[in-house]
Amino acid sequence: MKWKCDDCGIENELSQSTCPGCFKPRSPLGVGLISDETGKEIQCRISAVLGGRTLKKLGDSGLKYVSDEQFRLDKKPDLGAWVVTNLPVAKNPTYLNGAPIPDEGSQLKEGDKLSIKGKALALTVKFIY
């Protein structure tokens, strides 16, 4: 199986994380969020706002700290990445790797940890290719 570069159209081996034709990084199709507490996972393949209703499927005890609209995940094909942004309507801020997410958002990396106020609802980021 191969992946096709979004920019130049070259087909590449799955083991290649960057296109050798144009040097663009491979863009993940989606992002999975895995609850560290329950091991359950939700997946997102389009840009979306996540909150209590969506995250409820994880069955995590930290859900009581999650707002109806907690954070936004945006697919950024031009960066070959996904970006997480805090939402100002959230009662408790979302943290990335134990630190508040900047207003402009943060690019996610495989294995990153999202949490509420750095303490509740620990979620591990996993990319879907």
User: What does the DSSP 8-state code read for residue 18?
Assistant: B
Residue 15 vs residue 68, higher pLDDT: 68
Identify the residue whose tokens are 């509420």.
Answer: 116
Helices (H), the chain: 52-55
In order of start, what are the domains of the chain with their CATH numbers?
29-128 (2.60.200.20)
Mean pLDDT of 43-59: 96
Mean pLDDT of the residues in the chain: 92
Q: Check residue 112 and give its pLDDT.
A: 98
Residue 57 vs residue 13, higher pLDDT: 57
SS3 102: coil
Residue 70 vs residue 118, higher pLDDT: 70
Written as six digits, the tokens of 117 are 């106020």
